[in-house]
Amino acid sequence: MRITKFGHSCIRIEHDGHTLVIDPGGFTQPEAVDGADAVLVTHEHPDHYHPAHLVRASAPVFTIDAVAQRIREDSPEVAEQLTVVSPEQTFEAAGLPVRAVGEQHAVIHPDLPRFDNSGYVVTLATPSGDQKVFHPGDALTPPGEPVDLLCVVVSAPWMKVSEAVDFARLVGAPRNLAIHDRVYSEAGLGIVDGHLSRLLPDTQAYARVPDGADLV
């Protein structure tokens, strides 16, 4: 099992000969999708969805209806690669079991409409048992089951650091990987790292890794 963090909210999972990429958006290096067997997209915001990356990947794309509509408009050549998923649906992407979680983006402001959003729990079979990875997209909707790794949002216009801490505590994953980290400066992220490292219990490890680096 290999998990690589790419720009902002993108992670790449390589496992048992399969490669799955989640949320290769506008802040993500293009090479994140190279060799992908499938791509998951949580929602339509450009930091999570970038049409050129989907064209480059030339791989099946699994996403919600709102994103699928955008893709058909922006990149019609990708339309035949689309599979639309619904909340709580289980499906297979890149040979890996996936479950869709949640329906809506976190509240940005009460005066703004809420976008659709789906998180994804990906199950990786290992000799020691299943390992579950949860990417929530831009939501604070818990996965509804124990997970081994939470991709935790650490900076966003719609959240404060206490919400990141509380969400990680609620999910209770033994490992937490920082995502959605292009909103703050390195100085600001250093503060966030300090809070998460101090405030999560000893049973929950926290890491933020550079773009293109593997979680070890």
Report yes or no on 26 lying in a domain: yes
- From the list 137, 152, 154, 212, the residue with the least C-alpha distance to 188 is 154
Q: Is the dihedral of CA 128, 146, 151, 71 positive or negative?
A: positive
Give the residue numbers spanning the domain of 12: 2-209
Report yes or no on 216 lying in a domain: no
- pLDDT 10s digits, 10-28: 999 999 999 999 999 999 9
The C-alpha atoms of residue 129 and residue 120 are separated, in whole angstroms, by: 19
- pLDDT 10s digits, 99-119: 999 999 999 999 999 999 999
Report yes or no on 214 lying in a domain: no
Report yes or no on 215 lying in a domain: no
Determine the average pLDDT of the residues in 41-67: 98
State the CATH number of the domain containing residue 56: 3.60.15.10
Report yes or no on 8 lying in a domain: yes
How many independent structural domains does the chain possess? Answer: 1
Report yes or no on 58 lying in a domain: yes
Report yes or no on 77 lying in a domain: yes
Report yes or no on 205 lying in a domain: yes
